[in-house]
Amino acid sequence: MIDELKNKNSEELVSESIKKAKETNVEINSFVTIIDNPEHVNNEESPLNGIPYAAKDLFSTKDILTTGSSNILANYVPFYDATVIKRLKDAGAILIGKTVCDEFGLGGTGTTGHTGVVKNPWNITRGAGGSSSGSATSVALGIVPFSLGTDTGDSVRKPASYCGVVGYKPTYGLIPRYGVLPFASSLDHVGLFTTCVKDAAIVTDAIKGFDGKDMTSLKTVESLASGLEGNISGKKLFYIKELTNIEYYNNPSEEVINTLSLFKENIAKIKELGVEVYEESLDEKIIDALGPAYTIISCAEATSNLSMYTGINFGMRGVGNNIKDMIKDHRTKGFSSLIKRRLVIGSYVLEEKNQERYYLNACRVRQLVIDKMNEFLSKYDALIMPASFKAPLLDAANDVITESKKDVASTLLIGNFGGYPSITIPCGFVDNMPVGINLTGRVKGDKDLLNIAYGVEQKLGFAGQTVGGKHE
């Protein structure tokens, strides 16, 4: 954990991180780029000075390859740093590598990046989740104490659950997004992975706050780390009964039964802290509509954002006798089938004849979800849910859009719909694979949410967990 690293030699820390990144990358495939001679701006006043970290390959890094895990940007080297990269550099943190993700962040499996599949370090036959897959595995393996990711639907919090680490997505706009390759701008959040809640607060304090280059960024000076006192007696939490009670599942698998049983066991432990936990109902029609609404809105926004990849200004150059043919060749050869599917969906729902039926109805579902969540959060301090079931086998991992099925992870979408702060922390194991518990709180209530998570973390006992390392 970061506090424990402050007294260690920075050069040795960085050297060890780079060595481990290279050793594990052959099997796990966490990194697109490993930086042999990373830059260090000394800042002895910062708690992050000399601390190595990794960043998802959606963050622009000056003079360092930034591919978005896509062939279309296979040779793209930016001339500037994303705001959060610059802030971490100024804080003395040392970037040792760029991590593999699903192409442009548009997937959820960790299997669609142009450098190949990211494997789960707890069991290489299973996936790491996505889209921030390499960032999750780099922390789970103990390569770095923290890593940057992005979260548009669950892309930090679900891989955190699969890999047994902490995944935090702050309030929308708390961390600026300038220089981060976009997916769906109304849903995109910068997030991060750590091995404990305290580290998540420390890192966020270093990178949060207003940025004049990002009109969605928030003005804030409040320290998050200073609010971690751990006493959460009297806090009120709620969970959604339709997704946490076994009787609501048709022919539940042993995995579902064990995951929900573990959740209830952990709820009982949390109540011992003096926390009140309540059961609330959410209309199953709304639950069933979460995934489709997300798909429609995110694909529509991706269609707009990814239109900049023309091959004219940057990225691979297409061939043709005119600009139209060059762009067509560029996008046909550069985008994977995953991206093409998403862009077809986005284009279709944005056609004038389809907007009312698909896009606008999806936006109405989003507002219904926000209204209901705000109603709940007027009575309770946070939503608590299982973050996911265990990581799926790689053979079963795919990003093909199919008929939705009941899944506890669908509630993670709520955090993006309303811009709520949301955090996943490790809570145990199901069939020898880690799973997490997720907390989602009020907009701009990050300080309170992190303190609740800190209290829960201390009770459950998985702070500092890494593969083959510390865990209780």
Residues 217-230 have a mean pLDDT of: 93
| pLDDT confidence of residue 472 | 39
Residues 342-347 have a mean pLDDT of: 96
Report the percent of the chain where pLDDT is more than 70: 97
Residues 288-307 have a mean pLDDT of: 97
Q: Are 14 and 96 in contact (CB under 8 A)?
A: yes
131 is catalytic: yes
| pLDDT confidence of residue 409 | 94
Query: Strand 52-56 to strand 146-151: parallel, antiparallel, or no bridges (unpaired)?
Result: parallel
Residues 14-31 have a mean pLDDT of: 98
For residue 427, the SS3 value is strand
Q: Are 423 and 450 in contact (CB under 8 A)?
A: yes
Of the candidates 205, 207, 210, 206, which has an alpha carbon nearest to the alpha carbon of residue 222?
205
- Catalytic option among 30, 60, 132, 155: 155
Look up tokens 């080297």; give the residue: 77
- Catalytic option among 70, 131, 147, 410: 131
Residues 375-398 have a mean pLDDT of: 94
Predicted confidence (pLDDT) at residue 6 exceeds the cutoff of 60: yes
Task: Indicate the pLDDT class of residue 400, thresholds 50, 70 and 90.
Answer: low
Q: Are 278 and 235 in contact (CB under 8 A)?
A: no
Average pLDDT, the chain: 95
Q: Dump pLDDT digits (tens) for 136-181.
A: 999 999 999 999 999 999 999 999 999 999 999 999 999 999 999 9
Of the candidates 296, 302, 291, 290, which has an alpha carbon nearest to the alpha carbon of residue 184?
302
Predicted confidence (pLDDT) at residue 402 exceeds the cutoff of 70: no
Q: What angle do CA 464, 465, 467 make, to 5 degrees?
A: 140
Question: For residues 455 and 268, what is the distance between their CA atoms, to the nearest angstrom?
Answer: 14
Write the single-letter amino acid at 347. S
Predicted confidence (pLDDT) at residue 399 exceeds the cutoff of 80: no
Question: For residues 348 and 342, what is the distance between their CA atoms, to the nearest angstrom?
Answer: 10
More confident residue, 399 or 273: 273
Task: Indicate the pLDDT class of residue 470, thresholds 50, 70 and 90.
Answer: low
More confident residue, 396 or 328: 328
Residues 120-126 have a mean pLDDT of: 98
- Catalytic option among 17, 30, 56, 298: 56
| pLDDT confidence of residue 7 | 81
| pLDDT confidence of residue 471 | 44
Q: What angle do CA 154, 67, 395 make, to 5 degrees?
A: 50
Q: Dump pLDDT digits (tens) for 54-79.
A: 999 999 999 999 999 999 999 999 99
Residues 411-428 have a mean pLDDT of: 98
Q: What is the CATH number of the domain that holds 295?
A: 3.90.1300.10
| pLDDT confidence of residue 318 | 87
Stated as kind and residue range, the H or E segment containing 377 is: helix 361-377
Please tell me the pTM assigned to this model: 0.97
Q: How many structural domains is the chain composed of? A: 1
Q: Are 107 and 338 in contact (CB under 8 A)?
A: yes
Q: Which domain holds residue 243?
A: 1-472
Beta bridge partners of 279: 239
Residues 296-304 have a mean pLDDT of: 98
